[in-house]
Structure 1
Amino acid sequence: MIDLTQYLWIMWLVFVILCVIIEVLTLEFTFMMIAAGSLIGGLGANVIGAEWWVQILAAATISGLLLFTIRPLLLKTLNRGEPPALTNVDALVGMNARATAPFVAGTGFVKLANGETWSARLAEQFEAITLIEGDRVVVTRIDGATAEVAPRERSETP
């Protein structure tokens, strides 16, 4: 009968390669730590001639240590920096705009700084203010397809 334990090193290499492939797809350093632990612990123990259960125990121990010590440091370093850029309607909040026609009953249309024209309504605390064409506003919130705006300053030319 063939002793399969002599081929354990092949299984360790296949497992390490599989973990690296999964890591490339997930990019969270979890499978990289498992791969490193298996390479150092499992394959390393196999090279020195340890029993199969010692190889598994060494791989699990080193993988666990790497997961709880090195991975958090890598993630902290990777996530350091500026917050991600706002996109879609989140990027519109705070954007300057101009009224394209007089607001009637607190609603009207504005042209945003990015060139888009949106239906708009005045923010609740500014409903008593009348906006005319050309007045500057700032987007305070997006509600569906309507931009909620607040006045900035009145334009000098109508």
Structure 2
Amino acid sequence: MLDWLVANSWVLWLGLFLLLAIVEMMTLDLFFIMLSGGSLAALAAGLFGSPFWAQVVVFCLVALLMVLFVRPVALRHLNRGPADLRTNVERLIGETATTLEAVTDHSGLVRIGGDTWTARSSDGSLIPAGQRVEVARIDGATAVVSPSGKPLNNYEAGEA
């Protein structure tokens, strides 16, 4: 069995490549994909007739070089963008909204960027319908809003 595996080492390297690629898909760390690149290089060396010990050396060298030089560059490109990038509901904080019905300290509706949210006033005041407000925070599925000093334009007021 071992003799067959050494003689047909490409099967070993292909299997290792597939295994490492599957592990990379689960971890998304860009480490195992570098190792799988090394196994592809060893597979190529095996197909060109290199002895098994040379294939192992090729695997180790290519994998090491990829981890040391390719992975940091790839991680930099993946992590590009502003460090304070807000996602999901965090991006709504500070946005302006329009009240669709009166907002009190317990209930109300607002439109934030085309979506309708339940809302309540941050300071307990009554905010009439049709007013511009600012999102102070999000509590679950409720936007906590405060009055804004900016006037509505005709489009936001529904006079388009």
TM-score (norm 1): 0.66
Q: Which amino acid aligns with 1:36?
A: G
1:80 aligns to what? 80
Gaps of 5+ in 2: 153-160
2:119 aligns to what? 119
1:12 aligns to what? 13
SS in 1 for 2:58: helix
- After superposition, the Cα gap between the structure-2 partners of 1:65 and 1:2, relative to the gap in structure 1 and judged at 3 Å, is closer
CA contact (8 A) 1:97 1:110 kept: no
- Paired residues in the alignment total 149
Q: Matched residues in 2 for 1:62 and 1:17: separation?
A: 17
**Which protein is bigger by CA-based radius of gyration?**
1
Q: CA deviation at 1:42?
A: 5.9
TM-superposition CA deviations, 1:96-128 (whole Å, max 9, x none): 23442264xx444242232514130224xxx5x
SS in 1 for 2:87: coil
CA contact (8 A) 1:12 1:38 kept: yes
SS in 2 for 1:112: strand
Q: Which amino acid aligns with 1:109?
A: G
2:108 aligns to what? 109
SS in 2 for 1:131: coil
1:55 aligns to what? 55
Gaps of 5+ in 1: none
1:92 aligns to what? 92
Q: Matched residues in 2 for 1:13 and 1:130: separation?
A: 68
TM-score (norm 2): 0.65
- After superposition, the Cα gap between the structure-2 partners of 1:133 and 1:82, relative to the gap in structure 1 and judged at 3 Å, is same
The RMSD of aligned alpha carbons is 3.8
Q: Which amino acid aligns with 1:66?
A: M
Q: CA deviation at 1:138?
A: 0.7
Q: Matched residues in 2 for 1:10 and 1:69: separation?
A: 28
TM-superposition CA deviations, 1:133-152 (whole Å, max 9, x none): 43321111012343221211
145, 148, 153: which is aligned to 2:149? 153
Q: CA deviation at 1:49?
A: 3.7
SS in 2 for 1:68: helix
Q: Matched residues in 2 for 1:16 and 1:115: separation?
A: 46
2:130 matches 1:134: yes
Q: Matched residues in 1 for 2:92 and 2:37: separation?
A: 45
Q: Matched residues in 1 for 2:54 and 2:60: separation?
A: 10
Q: CA deviation at 1:19?
A: 3.6
